[in-house]
């Protein structure tokens, strides 16, 4: 026999051991006060908690309407002039005349397009708007339905209305301007809105301190949220409360009009405490506030509304109100200095003052969440919910551990019946167990939550892993004894060709579940794929070196005894 390097000095074995040790460090198992603990995160099945199914409120429809009638309806209302005269409708522009005396700044601030304003030949004001049919329909629906409307590219004019509305209600709204709904009419939202809602909801939960909450999209208007370790009341408060965030301005009495949506809020800074002057006194008081920054469009919209409705000259009579799901969460007048500045230039950085003391701090923290992550593009409705008690979750956890132990015992017995050699059985079981440790280390690093589907994936990996190790062992011992090094390498190459083909088959089979992301099955697919890759890249090559080294040592000892 040729002298060769001890297997424990081989680079593949060293890498294998290093990854195992790294996994143990990441998992960080510990035992204290009679309780075993790790860094592993457990999902709803094993930790207990609540789950929610949310439905996004919105529709997608193809629509049509008469541009001239939209102008007459909207500007008749905005200018309080029921006798708007339509002069010309051309591609890219609309010209009309109003009996009211108005100017370009006022018309442009209404947001229907860039205007050209002149005196009419027979009195009144003649206005030409540079606009389009699609944009006029969008503005009309936004004003008439009090909802955000997003154009979607299509053969016909297609819009996403971010509000729960029936086809009959939309038809009735469009009939007033000579319009109609062109089938199909679909209840749901666009893919972009669904993903945006998911992202903002994730941000909100993380802002509130609930890291790594699994949020899954199902279909085109459903979101599933698992909130491990959380009771149902808290789950509804945290996950289902966020909705459409909007800033409105007081016009007259209690009437308000839309200024901007939460999508125009670009950044929210940490809450801060600052000194402000007490009204009617030279003294100062500590008050809490939430600094936030608007986009350019948002700052311009706020400035236009403040000027149009008089908030720059009389801020106390024109409060800014913030709404979440049409519920008031904050309102206040513009500060005098801000009102003065905003008259000259759009102001992007604002501070929402929430008051003094512990109550002011609490309101500031709540408002910070609403501003930074509560601005869902659409309202959401809880249409399904459930919970798993902590006691039941602990039972599941115990049963999973027991199932894993039983699986390893059965596998060990089957291997014993096949080989009856400790120098094969022990490395094979140790390699399989090590793969589980590495997978658990991976979940700890990425913050992946372990639940029943992912545990099932780990058990499936154990099964496929043992299959691969048996293939290696049988190929190596095809002749009944350890072959020469050259023959060993040839057989090992053949074994790995079979293993790689089998691994590729598993990965391809799991890929649809991974891409579709259908519920908890995605976790099963991820763990299975990761486990197979860990096996073929790290564990199998190391096992091949280890088994060769142990069998060579056994052969050498046998020859020595015979001598």
Cβ neighbours for 197, distance < 8 A, ≥ 6 positions apart: 56, 189, 223, 376, 377, 378, 380
In a domain, 188, yes or no: no
CA angle 329, 349, 297 (to 5 degrees): 85
| 452 and 311 in a common domain | no
Burial of 6 (0-12, 13-18, 19+ CB in 10 A): exposed
| 351 and 427 in a common domain | no
533-552: per-residue pLDDT in tens? 999 999 999 998 888 877 76
Say which range, 149-153, 235-239, 452-456, 504-508, has the weakest mean pLDDT.
235-239
Q: Are strands 215-218 and 59-64 parallel, antiparallel or unpaired?
A: unpaired
| 405 and 370 in a common domain | no
244-259: per-residue pLDDT in tens? 778 899 887 788 888 8
| 284 and 402 in a common domain | no
DSSP 8-state class, residue 264: G
Distance CA 223, CA 74 (A): 36
| 370 and 329 in a common domain | yes
166-198: per-residue pLDDT in tens? 999 999 999 999 999 998 899 989 888 888 888
| 357 and 414 in a common domain | no
- The pLDDT value recorded for residue 276 is 62
Say which range, 127-136, 225-234, 367-376, 467-476, has the weakest mean pLDDT.
367-376
Statement: residue 517 has pLDDT above 80? no
334-361: per-residue pLDDT in tens? 888 888 888 877 888 888 888 888 888 8
The token pair that represents 467 in the structure block: 């299959």
Residue 384's DSSP bridge partners are 53
Q: Are strands 265-268 and 180-187 parallel, antiparallel or unpaired?
A: unpaired
Q: Phi, psi at residue 216, to the nearest 5°?
A: -125, 140
Distance CA 324, CA 328 (A): 6
Write the CA distances from 41 to 61, 188, 208, 390, 444, integer angstroms. Answer: 43, 33, 18, 14, 7
Statement: residue 559 has pLDDT above 50? no
In a domain, 480, yes or no: yes
Per-residue confidence at 1, pLDDT binned at 50, 70, 90? Answer: very low
Most confident of 27-36, 106-115, 274-283, 439-448: 439-448
Distance CA 392, CA 49 (A): 10
- The pLDDT value recorded for residue 95 is 92
- The pLDDT value recorded for residue 271 is 82
Distance CA 349, CA 134 (A): 32
Give me the residue label for tokens 């043992």.
Answer: 466
- The pLDDT value recorded for residue 558 is 47
In a domain, 53, yes or no: no
Task: Give me the domain span that covers residue 261.
Answer: 245-385
Statement: residue 4 has pLDDT above 70? no
Q: Residue 489 is part of a domain; what is its CATH number? A: 1.20.1640.10
Distance CA 187, CA 214 (A): 25
The answer to whether the pTM exceeds 0.75 is: no
| 524 and 421 in a common domain | yes
Last residue of a domain, one of 363, 385, 407: 385
Last residue of a domain, one of 326, 359, 385: 385
Last residue of a domain, one of 359, 385, 411: 385
């Amino acid at each position: 026999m040729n002298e060769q390097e001890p297997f424990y000095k081989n680079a593949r074995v060293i890498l294998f051991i290093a990854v195992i040790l790294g996994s143990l460090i990441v998992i960080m198992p510990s035992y204290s006060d009679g309780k075993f603990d790790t860094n592993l995160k457990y999902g709803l099945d094993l930790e207990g908690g609540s789950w929610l199914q949310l439905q996004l409120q919105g529709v997608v429809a193809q629509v049509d309407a008469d541009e001239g009638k939209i102008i007459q309806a909207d500007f008749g209302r905005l200018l309080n002039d029921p006798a708007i005269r339509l002069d010309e409708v051309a591609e890219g522009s609309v010209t009309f005349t109003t009996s009211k005396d108005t100017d370009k700044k006022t018309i442009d601030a209404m947001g229907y397009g860039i205007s050209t304003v002149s005196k009419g030949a027979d009195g009144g004001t003649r206005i030409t708007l540079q606009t389009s049919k699609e944009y006029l329909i969008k503005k009309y629906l936004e004003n008439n339905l009090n909802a955000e409307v997003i154009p979607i590219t299509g053969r016909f004019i297609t819009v996403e209305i971010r509000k729960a509305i029936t086809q009959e209600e939309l038809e009735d709204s469009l009939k007033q301007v000579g319009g109609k709904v062109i089938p199909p009419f679909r209840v749901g939202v666009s893919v972009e809105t669904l993903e945006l809602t998911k992202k903002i909801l994730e941000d909100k939960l993380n802002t509130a301190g609930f890291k790594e909450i699994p949020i899954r999209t199902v279909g085109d208007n459903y979101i599933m949220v698992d909130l491990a370790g959380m009771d149902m009341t808290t789950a509804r408060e945290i996950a289902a409360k966020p909705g459409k965030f909007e800033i409105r301005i007081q016009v007259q009495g209690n009437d308000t009009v839309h200024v901007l949506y939460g999508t125009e809020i670009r950044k929210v800074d940490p809450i801060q405490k600052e000194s402000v002057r007490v009204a009617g006194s030279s003294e100062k008081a500590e008050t809490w506030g939430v600094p936030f920054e608007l986009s350019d469009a948002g700052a311009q919209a706020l400035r236009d509304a403040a000027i149009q409705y008089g908030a720059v000259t009389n801020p106390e009579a024109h409060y800014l109100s913030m709404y979440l799901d049409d519920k008031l969460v904050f309102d206040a007048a513009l500060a005098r200095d801000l009102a003065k500045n905003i008259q000259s230039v759009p102001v992007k950085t604002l501070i929402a003052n929430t008051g003094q003391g512990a109550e002011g701090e609490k309101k500031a923290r709540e408002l910070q969440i609403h501003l930074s992550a509560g601005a869902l593009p659409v309202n959401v409705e809880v249409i399904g919910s459930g919970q798993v008690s902590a006691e039941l979750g602990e039972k599941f956890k115990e049963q999973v551990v027991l199932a894993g132990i039983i699986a390893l015992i059965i596998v060990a017995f089957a291997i014993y019946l096949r080989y009856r050699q400790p120098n094969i059985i022990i490395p094979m079981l140790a390699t399989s167990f090590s793969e589980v440790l590495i997978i658990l280390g991976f979940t700890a690093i990425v913050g992946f939550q372990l639940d029943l589907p992912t545990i099932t994936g780990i058990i499936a990996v154990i099964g496929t892993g043992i299959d691969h190790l048996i293939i290696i062992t049988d190929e190596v011992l095809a002749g009944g004894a350890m072959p020469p090094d050259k023959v060993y390498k040839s057989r090992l190459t053949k074994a790995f060709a079979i293993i790689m083909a089998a691994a590729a088959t598993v990965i391809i089979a799991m890929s649809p579940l991974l891409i579709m992301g259908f519920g908890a099955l995605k976790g099963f697919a991820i763990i299975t794929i990761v486990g197979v890759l860990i096996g073929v890249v790290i564990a199998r090559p190391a096992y091949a070196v280890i088994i060769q080294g142990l069998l060579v040592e056994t052969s050498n000892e046998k020859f020595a005894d015979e001598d």
